[in-house]
Amino acid sequence: MKIEERIREVVDAHVQSLTSDLVRVVAEQDAQWRMELDRVVAEAQEAREAREAAEHEARVRQEEHARLREENESRLREETAAAQAVMGATHSRREIRVETLERLLGAVRRIDESNSLTGILGALIHGAAAETSRVAILLVDGYMFRTWDHQGFEEGTSPTEMPIGGSGTLAAAVALRQSSFVPPMIEGRESTVPEFMRVPAGHTGLVVPLAIGGEVVAVLYADDMFRSVEQEDAPLWTEEVELLARHAALRLENVTSVRTVEVLTGTD
């Protein structure tokens, strides 16, 4: 065999080996790319489905919030109209009631216009303070209550941080997620009620929980310590304050839901 033929055979064999290796590498790379593409497509599909689910839930919550807001405003408008239509009430009492309802409607609107947790709580505490003597918002932080803000308390009588179990009334409001009244002080009987919540007989103390997604994140405390016990409409303020607190809780949940969607969709 001539040397040229031997060289040609060696070269042909080497080219064939290289070609075989190249085909194998390309096939393996193609399979790897296909697997990676399938993974990326699956992840994108999951992300899209999660985003659509979050957007749907947010829309449902927003629609529910809008419906409840309309019901609250409709109720306030109806009460305003009813108060204006009452013929047996004196002119001064009718004016006071209308002013109260207008004040409540204004507080509801300020809560709705707030887009932050601080803004909503601030609108709530100012709205509640306009209806009674003393108000405070306590945040639930683990096993502790931390004072967020308060109004109407004299120096040295304002709320301080304390364990949730330090007050049966506050603990029950958190555990049951229900509003409750503070038992009045009875002379000569020792009380376990925190000092800032102690109201004498003839006055009313109220605790309203604020829940987001079924979990209590704060409580609103209010009382009529400086209200005259002779006022016949004194108990009405508890309904007004509870209405504001429940509306604020709805708004807090709505804002929290919107922010969750913004994070998931990357629109924040």
* CB neighbour list of residue 211: distance below 8 Å, 6 or more residues apart: 177, 217, 249, 253
* pLDDT computed for residue 263 by the predictor: 44
Domain assignment present for residue 98? The answer is: yes
Domain assignment present for residue 160? The answer is: yes
Domain assignment present for residue 133? The answer is: yes
Domain assignment present for residue 5? The answer is: no
The β-bridge partners of 145 are 140, 162
Domain assignment present for residue 9? The answer is: no
* pLDDT computed for residue 73 by the predictor: 83
* pLDDT computed for residue 121 by the predictor: 95
Report the C-alpha gap between 89 and 98 in whole angstroms: 12
* Rg, Å, the chain Cα set: 33
DSSP for 21-41 reads HHHHHHHHHHHHHHHHHHHHH
Residue 206 and residue 242 in contact, taking contact as beta carbons nearer than 8 Å: yes
The CATH number for 241's domain is 3.30.450.40
Please tell me whether residue 125 adopts helix, strand or coil conformation: helix
* pLDDT computed for residue 137 by the predictor: 96
* pLDDT computed for residue 166 by the predictor: 77
* pLDDT computed for residue 185 by the predictor: 79
Q: How many residues does the chain have?
A: 268
Domain assignment present for residue 56? The answer is: yes
Q: What is the DSSP letter of 185?
A: B
Q: Which amino acid is at 261?
A: V
Enumerate residue ranges in the chain where pLDDT < 50.
260-261, 263-264
Residue 121 and residue 217 in contact, taking contact as beta carbons nearer than 8 Å: no
pTM of the entire predicted model = 0.62
Domain assignment present for residue 216? The answer is: yes
Domain assignment present for residue 27? The answer is: no
Tokens of 15: 């080219």
Residue tagged 């399979």 (tokens): 31
Domain that includes residue 75, residue range: 51-265
Number of domains comprising the chain = 1
* pLDDT computed for residue 92 by the predictor: 60
* pLDDT computed for residue 264 by the predictor: 45
Tokens of 38: 């399938």
Beta strands in 56-167 (DSSP E): 134-141, 144-151, 162-163
